[in-house]
Amino acid sequence: MSAKTLSVDPAKCNGCKDCELACVKKHKGVSKPTRSRIRIIQGDTQDGFYLPMTCQQCENPPCLAACPNNAISRDNALNRVMIRDELCIGCQMCVSACPFGAMAFDADLGLAFKCDLCDGNPECVRVCEPKALEYVEGHKLHYPRIRGSAERHYQVMRHMVS
């Protein structure tokens, strides 16, 4: 059995942000979207689209390489990148290193945070009615879906910088 991964299909996302609320509620116990580990970015195009953004659980994570205190590691069993809060010194080097903007910083706690796949049962997937988010076996990812997602990411980023 291959490791599971969080699969995002931007074409199905309706921008409801239920995933954001469910995420922060599970991790923080409050409805405070700024503390969510997944964010919905709205594209600024005529047709309008939404892009769920979360940690890509990189194989060679730049955040891990940037951490001066070895607070970040890979959990290969669940195919995820983890932050050990007890080792995090709050320097935010990981936040700066993430090319996807998936790392965030909790100023109240002085700690970095990111998606941890809810220990193998992502809450965002459970509440996503349009099924824009799925937690699937790695081999079930299809090239067309990956390509489509990459194209949507590119469109959003292009509009953000122009």
Give the mean pLDDT per block of 10 residues along the chain (162 residues). 82 93 89 87 75 92 97 93 98 96 94 95 97 84 56 65 62
Locate CATH 3.30.70.20 in the chain: 1-54+116-162, 57-114
CATH fold of 1-54+116-162 reads: Alpha-Beta Plaits (3.30.70)
Distance CA 98, CA 84 (A): 17
Residue among 160, 126, 127 nearest 17 (CA): 127
Name the class of domain 57-114: alpha beta
